[in-house]
Amino acid sequence: MSSLFSKIIKGEIPSFKIYEDEYTFAFLDINPINLGHTLIVPKVEHDHCLDVPEPYYSAVFKAAVPIGKAIMKATSCKRIGSVILGFDVPHFHYHVLPLWDSSDVSFKKAKSRETHEMENIQKSIVENLAS
């Protein structure tokens, strides 16, 4: 069964299309954090971002640069933010967000950690990256 985003890519569901190339499709989020909030999706359907094959995966991030610059010009925002969550629709999607300050993206769960906690998780990630 096709995801909502696959149906948007195929034109079966209308969207406010921002950009399209051979590998990606970008459109405005229907429930934007700020006006201009854009989703970039690969034209292959994969639930998890780490399962997206090349060249689709890299194309999403490559597309984010010109899209982000255009959003900045269109909205006069101070920064462009980005988020990958993927809980709502089982199709990898990259949020490109116009931001005026850090409160535009909620990091309510962020908190300082002890140095030893940071060192332990760093070591674990590096080891797992190498394996």
Sign of torsion over alpha carbons 125, 120, 94, 100: negative
Out of 37, 93, 95, 116, pick the active-site residue. Answer: 93
Residue 97 and residue 37 in contact, taking contact as beta carbons nearer than 8 Å: yes
Q: What are phi and psi of 79, to 5 degrees?
A: -145, 160
| 46 is annotated as an active-site residue | no
Residues 6+ apart with CB under 8 A from 80: 68, 71, 72, 96, 97, 98, 99
| Nearest residue to 94 (alpha-carbon basis) of 123, 52, 122, 126 | 52
C-alpha radius of gyration, the chain, whole number: 17
Give catalytic residue positions.
93
